[in-house]
Amino acid sequence: MNASLAQVLDYDDTYEIASLGVSHPGPAVVPSALAVCESEGCDGKALIRAVVLGYEAACRTADAIEPREYEFWGFANTQIMGAVTASSILLGVDVDRFVNAIGIAASSSPVPNTNMMWSLTKRPMSWVKDAVGCAASSGVMSALMASRGFIGTRNGLDEQDGYYLLCGSRAYDEKKLVEALGKRYRLSNLSFKPYPTCRFMQSTLDSVSILMEKHGLGEEQIEEVVVFVTPFLAEAFSVYEPASMIDAQFSMPYAISRIICRDDPSPAWYGEGCMNDPQTRAAMKKVRLVPDEEVERKRAEQSILSPKVRIRTKNGDEFERQEYCAKGHPDKPFAPEDFTGKFTRCLEAVEMGDRAGRAITMIENLEEYGDIRELLALFIP
């Protein structure tokens, strides 16, 4: 349940190759690890270790299966490997049972969504997204089964078993699962979202935000915002009447309207008052998406998703920006205050009161806690 909810705002972390997202490991790894920690009474150090290695498994699986066929959009097949790894480590399984856990997870993995299953071009959007709840629960179950002696395939991620075929991989490279293991952890290459929207929009929103700040623009001064983007996204993200919060998360006009109206990123973006506000509707109409073959070429050939933004003002000025990646990418990392600010704004939406500050302090000192349930108690309403 927590894994499903972790993605509900589309505010989750992303593992990217170049600047193209290829997995959302956090919503599977962290809730799975917390669930097993709570059940087993694990300490903070054990949680940290399990989360780091769970991310490693998910991200290395993504490295090995990419590039995939363009139709395959879901990440459940990488997320389950993160969930089963974190869970197995916390359950204390030995190497033999861990091999079985991986095999069970490979055999029971949800297949990835196709882009049609997301209903991006036939709205309203599917609320399932990556089906991360299914991936997380299957990962935990696979670890529990293996810990009790259940036997699975012994070659779950070896090329001979063909797991990569279920992932839609065009060039499976199993060496990427283990090369230089332990030398540099993939967690340090993670991207974090500054905006509660699809990762594919983030660099565009950064470009708009930078232009607004640099030139001192307000919504009332803007005549038009033109976004040059891949042909598919130009169609899929041109949504001017989002039917739900999920629809709005995949609407470029809606997200840009929040930026040009200078609305700080938070869950409040999807409040009923905000979505039905006349100013929001007017601002959305100023946005136009244009298919661009050069942007598409970089996506297809270099795994770079870098749309270009052009803002035209009512007095005829034009300003352009094309960010390679959004803030939160390893090349433009979050500062500590970016993390705590985002965390606090999210908790304010569920009226956590003074517990937000206490939670931040506990998380920053996680390795000192002997039982993780002390932290989890803060999040019980």
The whole-model pTM stands at 0.95
**Euclidean distance between CA atoms 346 and 352, whole angstroms:** 9
Q: Domains along the chain?
A: 2-191 (1.10.4100.10), 199-321 (3.30.1330.120), 336-379 (no CATH)
CA distance 167 to 76: 9
DSSP 6: T
Residue identified by tokens 């965390």 is 343
CB under 8 Å to 19, separation ≥6 — which residues? Answer: 203, 303, 304, 305, 306, 324, 325, 329
Q: What is the pLDDT along the chain (381 residues), one digit of tens a residue?
A: 999 999 999 999 999 999 999 999 999 999 999 999 999 999 999 999 999 999 999 999 999 999 999 888 899 999 999 999 999 999 999 999 999 999 999 999 998 889 899 999 999 999 999 899 999 999 999 999 999 999 999 999 999 999 999 999 999 999 999 999 999 899 999 999 999 999 999 999 999 999 999 999 999 999 999 999 999 999 999 999 999 999 999 999 999 999 999 999 999 999 988 999 999 999 999 999 999 999 999 999 999 999 999 999 999 999 999 999 999 999 999 999 999 999 999 988 888 778 889 999 999 999 999 999 989 998 887
| Model confidence pLDDT, tens digit, residues 50-74 | 999 999 999 999 999 999 998 888 9
- 225 bridge partner residues: 287, 311
